A and B are shown apart, each in its own frame.
Chain A
């Protein structure tokens, strides 16, 4: 699925990169190339939401990134 939003770094736990989605949800980013991780970068991510993943960040569902494009 494709989700649009803004890439942000959140200073909680060990630090976590998230996508503040235009749908109002916050996704924890997993995988993808390091060029994705730029504070404030507007992107459309192609990936899948893993609602079942459990982790230390606890900011929202994990979004496993297959690819992305800057928008």
Chain B
């Protein structure tokens, strides 16, 4: 009895001590270059060393030593520059009993690129997604981004005038589907604004900056002067874009009507390896507009400079991510600033501050281009990095998706290898098993190891907590690329459905519940031999669900309120545990 309690105590402790998965992402500390400043050193005197003492040492050592700052009088930190031989001077200084530390002066330089565009300081949106740091890693070189919109003011032609800040930006040949010409110039201003956020000419001393300024813009005009268009032109443009080499498609447009033609075009683009980034809509309701709501599209909502969902932004079950789209209700300067053409006179270039999910979308498209340029090969890889790198306070939610876009976070997430097996649910199940056995009377209680060493129990336990993780590894080692079936079997059983039905944002309430072990228990009523199997299965589900509740992951589909997810997981976890207990006890009676 006592050893049983000890065992369960140890297991519970192990489960509780395992750190929760890192859902809460904090801004990464500024990575920095460090280099020694020539002919300079720093001396740290004992705290409270008076300035006169420091001056006396300076004379004695023949160094131009002075306290570093007003803080120096307290901290005792003094520096000297113009030192002929730093090493020799340090050797002299280090012998002094009043000196705590003496070393060469180190210069720290944050790894960040600050463009010289004069209006860059007004672009809070680019700082919010950590562009200066991200630009040190990728600028989208060589990636073609299609802007499917009202066109781009990219050339001087007839009445059309190129926006000066786009001079020198890179363009791929595009098409005007509204007028059926090869010159998709902008007569509205929307498309040029969006294109600027993606790949505005940057560090050119003019105007503003863009996210992926070494990427190539492909202008595709599908919306007329009033900013309206139809699904046929848009579907054509989506296919045209991927057939002409675009890897990222930006669709800052939408409507309430479902179109099978457009949905197929989005699926086509994704199957050809392109990421389709779409605006979630500006209805301010819980209904994401189309094409953002189609499977395969990345739906982008908008936040203001305060990081809160903008009042106009649509949200809902189809939402993937949020990005800066501005909130002018917070006052001037809180929209998204870009160079474009005047909305009433397309011959005039202006800097304009707009707000909308259209403005949020190109931030995500730009970062997708950075990811492709940094080595991402597939849209799956890009989306995974976007979502994992996003700043969030936990699991997916209908008002923030996977979180707020973070360019640096996404690039860092891309570098990471695929996460290994998460053993925590198995540990939780082990602790639960110890507790369940202790709750049984001695005569009805099987031995802890007897249960675990029974393959009929152990196998379903592994299957429902960590999956047959070894299948995929063995396949890769001895056969080659594993088939889909092996991939699925390598996941914990409750997650199988998410694989079978594509990229799930939310877990199914049927699989993340006590339903599967419950049905299995019904079968075991008839066939007693199934009891050890059901015991393991239910125990695994219990550990998996309770761990999921503790780790705040994931959201559950179809529940009316997000906050119900955890009670749901706990309730079902407890149910599964009780089922397992019943199966274990009856087995012992036989």
Contacts and interface: CB of A to CB of B under 8 A. Distances in A.
Q: A and B: real partners?
A: yes
Interface of A: 10-15, 26, 30, 51-62
Nearest to A61: B256
B314 to A, nearest CB: 7
B253 interface: yes
Contact of B230 (A15, A30, A53, A56): A53
Contacts, number: 93
B189 interface: yes
A14 B189 contact: yes
B445 to A, nearest CB: 61
B509 interface: no
Interface stretch (B220-228, B492-500, B565-573): B220-228
Contacts of B226: 30, 55
B358 to A, nearest CB: 5
B257 A61 contact: yes
Contacts of B201: none
Contacts of B289: 58
Contact of A54 (B228, B314, B358): B228
Contact of A56 (B252, B256, B257): B252
B255 A12 contact: no
Contacts of B227: 13-14, 55-57
Contact of A51 (B254, B257, B281, B356): B257
B283 A60 contact: yes
Which of A14, A53, A62 counts the most B-chain CB atoms under 10 A from its CB?
A14
A12 B360 CA distance: 12
30 contacts: A10-B312, A12-B282, A12-B355, A13-B282, A13-B356, A14-B189, A14-B227, A14-B343, A26-B283, A30-B226, A51-B256, A52-B231, A52-B255, A53-B228, A53-B255, A53-B257, A54-B223, A54-B229, A54-B230, A54-B254, A55-B229, A55-B255, A56-B149, A56-B188, A56-B223, A58-B255, A59-B282, A59-B283, A61-B256, A61-B257
List 4 A-B pairs, minimum CB-CB distance, nearest first. Answer: A51-B257, A54-B255, A58-B281, A56-B227
Contacts of A62: 228, 255
A58 B189 contact: no
Given A55-B223, A58-B281, A11 B355 contact: yes
Nearest to B150: A56
Contact of B328 (A11, A54, A59): A11
Contacts of A59: 281-283, 312
A58 B253 contact: yes
B202 interface: no
Interface string B414-434: 000000000000000000000
A51 B358 CA distance: 20
A12 B356 contact: yes
Which of B150, B229, B255, B328 counts the most A-chain CB atoms under 10 A from its CB?
B255
B365 to A, nearest CB: 15
A13 B223 contact: no
B230 A13 contact: no
A29 B150 CA distance: 18
B332 to A, nearest CB: 12
A14 B341 CA distance: 11
Given A55-B223, A58-B281, A60-B256, 11 more contacts: A11-B355, A12-B356, A13-B227, A14-B190, A15-B343, A30-B228, A53-B255, A54-B230, A54-B234, A58-B255, A61-B257
B231 A54 contact: yes
Nearest to A54: B255
Which of A51, A53, A54, A57 counts the most B-chain CB atoms under 10 A from its CB?
A54
